[in-house]
């Protein structure tokens, strides 16, 4: 009887060790859940960025306003019949 009790106690110790420290332990499961949450947040940000890029691509394909806006802001272009004015600060104000 005493051998059975010792064997059951050792089995309980081994199972408890695996539960708290070993592979698949509660701490590992908790860490994996936190990592999953971080990955979900990163995925949501990337999906939002993709939606914005898709909207921009669709706008560039369909509308001339977006192309004109890009040409003005990034390339410094002006439309036909427009006059370009460049305003600079006086030399004293720049120092």
Residue-level pLDDT at 33: 95
Residue-level pLDDT at 80: 84
| Token digits of residue 94 | 């720049």
| 93 pLDDT tier (thresholds 50, 70, 90) | low
pLDDT at 94 over 80: no
Which helix (H) or strand (E) segment holds residue 46: the answer is helix 26-62
pLDDT tens for each residue of 38-89: 999 999 999 999 999 999 888 878 878 877 888 888 887 888 888 878 788 8
How far apart (Å, rounded) are the C-alpha atoms in residues 80 and 90? 30
Q: Mean per-residue pLDDT for 4-22? A: 83
């Amino acid at each position: 009887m005493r051998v059975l009790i010792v064997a059951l106690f050792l089995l309980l110790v081994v199972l408890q060790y695996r539960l708290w420290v070993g592979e698949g332990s509660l701490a590992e499961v908790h860490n994996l859940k936190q990592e999953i949450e971080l990955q979900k947040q990163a995925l949501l940000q990337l999906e939002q960025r993709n939606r914005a890029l898709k909207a921009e691509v669709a706008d560039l394909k369909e509308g001339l306003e977006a192309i004109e806006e890009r040409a003005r802001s990034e390339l410094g272009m002006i439309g036909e019949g427009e006059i370009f004015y460049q305003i600079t600060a006086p030399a004293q104000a720049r120092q």
